[in-house]
Chains A and B, each alone.
Chain A
Amino acid sequence: MLTYIVKRLLLLVPVILGITVLTFVISRVIPADPAQVAAGLEAGPDQVAALREEMGLDRPVAVQFIVYINGLLHGDLGRSMRSKVPVREDLVRYLPATFELAGVTILIYVLIGIPLGILSATYRGKIGDLLVRVLSVLGTAMPVFWVGLLLQILLFGKLHWFPAIGRISASVGAPTHITGLYLVDSLLTANGPAFASSLQYLFMPVTTLVFGRIAVAVRLTRASMVEVLDKDYITFARGKGLPERTLVLKHGLRNALVPIVTIVALQFAWLLGGTVLVEYIFTWPGIGQYAIEAIINLDYAPIMGIAVFMAIIFTMVNLLVDVLYSFLDPRIRW
């Protein structure tokens, strides 16, 4: 097991190198004048020239690349032209909010989607099946930012049930900083109002993110469960008189888990992109909001920093999933 993990980690090296090459190409080779782009459209020729020298753009591309990689290895993701703060510091500051939003989304996604999928596999009704199919196609067809706006119009604009933007009510204030996750921090400091307020503010962004994809989880879980439940050993277990509950949860679910984990992992890539748009709509102070502000201001370094960062996170999640497989299915051995 350990050797497998080490081997996989070593295999990550070329991928991560590739990620850096790609972002280097995007940020340095594609734009006609990266210094002009980095300095912003209003910058004068002197500023651009100074920046060109600072960024090392007057040196050969190979040297530039080595400098760039060297910086990355030391955790240097460049500096935001707008706030003058190193991108790394900004990322650290914005990460907890994104982590909280994505974490709660995945949790809800798994807690609702998978049980519903199991239920619809055990009670195979035509209506339920049709409903899930329709919802999954409809959910993926809706732009996530549009769903978010409609929720704001309805739940905030018309009904005033939930706050539209932000992470916590200003009158409550953020809980004492421990992890940066408001839900966790408010629990640790026994701060009831902050916990309640965070939940309220989480409601709409999480619903937006879950809404589009939940039916996909249900549909795929169902398919995976149906396949397993039709196997001979299930019929045999039923024949020997096992209660249906044990049958479904122990014999069925256990064997359907590998595809289900794959589904959740696949959704993760979508979630990373989706949070960017959703954070922007709900002014959620996370990495996505930071990314879009950078895009709007054509502030270059943050965009590239976020791209590298998200790619590495995503690669790690994939690795984690692969490792998880061998725990779920002892037949998978490396």
Chain B
Amino acid sequence: MKVLVKGARSAGGKIGIALVLFSILLAIVGPFVAPYSHTRINFATKLKPPTTSHLFGTDAVGRDIFSRVLHGARLSLTSAVLVIVIAVSVGSIAGAIGGYCGGIADQVLMRVTDVFFAFPFLVLAMAVAAALGPHFLNAVLALSIVWWPSYARLVRGLALSLKHTEYVEASRALGASTSMILFRHILPNCYGQILAKATTDFGFAVLATASLGFIGLGAQPPSPEWGAMIADGRTYILGFWWVATFPGLAIVITVLGFSLLGDAVQENLPR
């Protein structure tokens, strides 16, 4: 928490915090303040340009894009939270065990992560998501499966360096069990680094979810998923610019916020 407060002091950190709070606010209150239903089809109002009654215009079946973007915030942030929480939990526990215990466990971990890193990230995520079938939760699961190795590597490196610190040695000498050392001494000392990476990654998780949604592997219609909404706009590049533009802006604002905040946190980590 302290690094967050410190990070918020720089100009970038301030903008980041503001954007992050803004997107979280949207995700919480968005669905309540949305002026229209996000799923109601109305052909009478289809493809209307932005006006005061439809701030972001309407899509091909007459749904209000502003309302859909607001509803989409909750979906995007939820999926990003799930992806990062799963990736962080699995990755940091695996990494801590590998780094602290060494030996076979570490070898296996390193080889497994090597294999994951051999794939271009998005390509592997697409393959896993396609295997699981097109569904919102499957996209989340696919991204977590692809994402955990980077946390495993990060925590493994930290655990290796913490392993021989005096307090860990002392606690081992006092007879603390391995799991006790991992959860009481190793992992808590990795939190800062994990938090910094997770903050930045959170934005990228929003981006990755949108990418999967864009190619139809995420939330299914009529869910107001930002990536899928941009895909809707793909058919309307002649004239109907607003269909794809506004959901994209929502993604940019969210990702930008978390990137800036992540950078600020990283810069303020105690060394």
Interface residue ranges, A against B (CB under 8 Å): 14-15, 18-19, 21-23, 26-27, 30-31, 37, 137-138, 140-146, 149-150, 152-153, 156-157, 164, 269-270, 272-274, 276-277, 280-281, 291-292, 295-296, 298, 300, 303-304, 306-307, 310-311, 314-315
Contacts and interface: CB of A to CB of B under 8 A. Distances in A.
Interface in B191-221: 203, 207, 210-211, 214-217
Interface string B223-240: 000010011011001110
Nearest to A145: B214
B153 to A, nearest CB: 14
B118 A26 contact: no
Contact of B263 (A14, A137, A146, A150): A137
Nearest to A274: B122
Interface stretch (B109-117, B162-170, B176-184): B109-117
A156 B237 contact: yes
A23 B127 contact: yes
Contact of B251 (A15, A27, A146, A298): A146
Contacts of A153: 237, 241, 244-245
Nearest to A298: B130
Contacts of B133: 31, 37, 298
Interface of B: 12, 111-112, 114-116, 118-124, 126-128, 130-134, 203, 207, 210-211, 214-217, 227, 230-231, 233-234, 237-239, 241, 244-245, 248, 251-252, 255-256, 259-260, 263
A295 B116 CA distance: 20
Given A141-B207, A269-B120, A303-B127, A150 B245 contact: yes
A276 B263 CA distance: 28
Nearest to B125: A273
Contacts of B114: 14-15, 18
Contact of B203 (A22, A31, A141, A156): A141
Main secondary structure of the interface of B (DSSP, over half): helix
Contacts of A14: 111, 114
A106 to B, nearest CB: 14
Main secondary structure of the interface of A (DSSP, over half): helix
Contacts of B245: 150, 153
Contact of A277 (B130, B211, B244, B259): B211
Q: Indicate the member of B116, B231, B233, B248 with the most A CB atoms within 10 Å.
A: B248
Given A138-B256, A311-B120, A296 B216 contact: yes
Contacts of A270: 120-121
Given A137-B260, A310-B120, 15 more contacts: A14-B111, A18-B114, A22-B119, A23-B127, A138-B256, A142-B248, A142-B252, A143-B248, A145-B231, A149-B233, A149-B234, A270-B121, A276-B123, A303-B126, A303-B130
